[in-house]
Structure 1
Amino acid sequence: MAAEDDKYPVESGRRRFVKGVVGSAALVGIGTGAAASINSATAPTGAGGGIVQYFGVENIDGPAPRGMPQIPIEIDDEGFVKGVWPEVREVQEQGQTFTVAEMQLGGITYSSEWFQYCGVQTYPGVAPDADQDNFFRYANSSPYEWQQEEVEAGARVNVSDFEDYESWGNGIGESGLGKPALATWRSQDVPPGGTMPVQIIRSTRFEQMAEQGNEWISASTAQGFMANLNKCTHFCCVPGFKALPDSRKFGAANDIYCQCHQSVYDPFSIVELSFVALPRPEDE
């Protein structure tokens, strides 16, 4: 989706942002490129946020302005699945010291700012140096019968829970396309409203994409597992892959479907995108 369609306040530069009605916050229709030059002249020094390039599941229908950001995956020796958090370090900018989380991965800069939208920028787990272990944990509420019956909410996600991923089906769309779960990430012992929701899918398609030499997929998936921050970029609802029978009505039975306003995302189309990340509150 083009940057000029982004509905969120426009800010520019990783350490610069605009307050009030003057500057780029009042110019959301001009596009991120033009906003960058305007912000450099109108924005006071700030911290966090700005134009960010990222990889995400592509938005293919509905009002969502762009895809949801992907979370790179790694699997430990016991088969527990976790999200990769960027490397934390301190940087000096304009005479001040800032803590950032970013790293080079799959040919792109992977940053914690990928997740700074929809209010998530206020969540404790998005702070670069938050004390979290990065394991995915099963969500309390799940639309998937297998998850309700076979695993406990709060338990760490394990590869062994997905052994039937090549044949799994629930009557919604095609069977064998992939096995999903809803999880949380970097959200242990956080206040209500601060939980980061995650969609996990294990599919042979991701294995094939990695084997075909896709640099980003090879770096960001593991054993067929792919995950994304599960916040619809339209109005921040929580969508789902093969979660709702109603998705059939909108041709989305094999996609990630948001029931609130019928936005649809293709989990098997991982594309490079850009948006304007919001600053974290402690950085303002």
Structure 2
Amino acid sequence: MPEEDDKYPKSTGRRRFVKGVVGSASLAGVGTAAAAGINSATAPTGAGGGITQFMAMENTSGPAPRGMPQIPVEIDSEGYLKGIWPEVKTVTQQGREVKIAEMELGGVTYSAEWFQYCGVQTYPGVKPDADQDNFFRYSGNSKFEWQNEEVSEGDKIHVDDFSDYETWGNGIGQSGLGKPAQGSWRSQDVPPSGTMPVQVIRSKRVEQMAKRDDWIEASTEEGFIANLNKCTHFCCVPTFKGLPGSRVANAQDKIYCQCHQSVYDPFNVVKKSFVALPRPEGE
């Protein structure tokens, strides 16, 4: 296609990105044998990458090709929330030694490659051995009034901030469904362009889910569940119960992306596949 006929000229990089998203969505349904063949034919040029399975907040509506990856949660002895980071180890890939972050958790292989899309593969925090402490920290200019009034940008997220999670409401959808917050992860002292956005929700529904599912039991704690908050469509930042306009997509009680009306269900975590992008050479 001539560049002048392309909606997104080559100089923007947009056209190539859209093709990558479509390809990833198509590959999500391939069988194991076919996936192995494709993986070998599309060997990544950087570290990590390739077809990977991950646990996600299910995409239920809109153009997003797949769900957003869940981040396993743990709470330290002082009540601060952290995202579990996989164990770092050295392996041989394509004839060279590289560091990867991977571990078994709740019967699932949890990997840093879950987060290698939307440019995040270039962010400092996704590097397996990055010097980050894994605490969730509040972001500024939140969609939630309570967060803007009661905590400050950069504060570590604490259990006590969610003491009213069983009754909390803000006039959007059902009250008492859960209390959300917006934040960042593995991004302290990182420029905004490299900040990994996260969404944290505390809900009784998550506590109930953990009683009947090994993965949810292992990846949540005290009703807290979290996800990397990058819409898998065009990489916007969605919101759970933070946008009155979510009513147009019947998403008042779900995670809603106002850019193109993609909807995600935080209370339905599913296993999916996609082509994780490799980290740049030397990272």
* TM-score normalised by the chain length of structure 1: 0.87
Q: Which residue of 1 aligns with 2:14?
A: none
CA distance in 2, matches of 1:236, 1:102: 24
Three-state SS of the structure 2 residue aligned to 1:200 is: strand
Three-state SS of the structure 2 residue aligned to 1:137 is: strand
Q: Which residue of 2 aligns with 1:257?
A: 256
Q: Deviations over 1:192-220 (max 9, x none)?
A: 30000001000000001112x30000000
Aligned-pair distance for 1:281?
1.2
Q: Which residue of 1 aligns with 2:6?
A: none
Residues 282 and 219 (structure 1 numbering): CA distance in 2 closer, same or farther, change over 3 Å? Answer: same
Amino acid at match of 1:163: S
* Equivalent residues in 2 for 1:129-208, closer than 5 Å: 129-208=129-208
Segment drifting more, 86-95 vs 266-275: 86-95
* Equivalent residues in 2 for 1:121-132, closer than 5 Å: 121-132=121-132
Residues 46 and 32 (structure 1 numbering): CA distance in 2 closer, same or farther, change over 3 Å? Answer: farther
Aligned-pair distance for 1:140?
1.3
Aligned-pair distance for 1:258?
0.2
CA distance in 1, matches of 2:64, 2:138: 26
Q: Which residue of 2 aligns with 1:215?
A: 214
Q: Report if the CA contact (8 A) 1:73-1:221 is conserved.
A: yes
Amino acid at match of 2:218: A
Structure 1 counterpart of 2:20, from 9, 32, 36: 9
CA distance in 1, matches of 2:238, 2:204: 22
Segment drifting more, 88-97 vs 161-170: 88-97
CA distance in 1, matches of 2:24, 2:226: 33
Residues 138 and 44 (structure 1 numbering): CA distance in 2 closer, same or farther, change over 3 Å? Answer: closer
Three-state SS of the structure 1 residue aligned to 2:97 is: strand
Q: Deviations over 1:229-257 (max 9, x none)?
A: 00000000000000100101210000000
Three-state SS of the structure 2 residue aligned to 1:187 is: coil
Q: Which residue of 2 aligns with 1:14?
A: none
Q: Which residue of 2 aligns with 1:20?
A: none
Query: How large is the Cα RMSD of the aligned pairs?
Result: 2.2
Q: Which residue of 2 aligns with 1:243?
A: 242
Q: Which residue of 1 aligns with 2:9?
A: none
CA distance in 2, matches of 1:35, 1:46: 19
- Aligned length in residues: 264
CA distance in 2, matches of 1:118, 1:26: 13
Gaps in structure 2 of 5+ consecutive residues = 1-16
Q: Which residue of 1 aligns with 2:49?
A: 49
CA distance in 1, matches of 2:204, 2:24: 43
Residues 93 and 39 (structure 1 numbering): CA distance in 2 closer, same or farther, change over 3 Å? Answer: closer
Aligned-pair distance for 1:48?
1.4
Q: Report if the CA contact (8 A) 1:202-1:225 is conserved.
A: yes
Sequence identity (%):
69
Amino acid at match of 1:207: E
* TM-score normalised by the chain length of structure 2: 0.88
Residues 256 and 94 (structure 1 numbering): CA distance in 2 closer, same or farther, change over 3 Å? Answer: closer
Three-state SS of the structure 2 residue aligned to 1:57 is: strand
Amino acid at match of 1:260: C
Q: Which residue of 1 aligns with 2:65?
A: 65
Amino acid at match of 2:20: P
Q: Report if the CA contact (8 A) 1:209-1:217 is conserved.
A: yes
Aligned-pair distance for 1:69?
0.1
Aligned-pair distance for 1:93?
3.7
Residues 202 and 43 (structure 1 numbering): CA distance in 2 closer, same or farther, change over 3 Å? Answer: closer
Aligned-pair distance for 1:147?
0.2
Residues 243 and 91 (structure 1 numbering): CA distance in 2 closer, same or farther, change over 3 Å? Answer: same
Segment drifting more, 44-53 vs 122-131: 44-53
Q: Which residue of 2 aligns with 1:224?
A: 223
Amino acid at match of 1:218: E
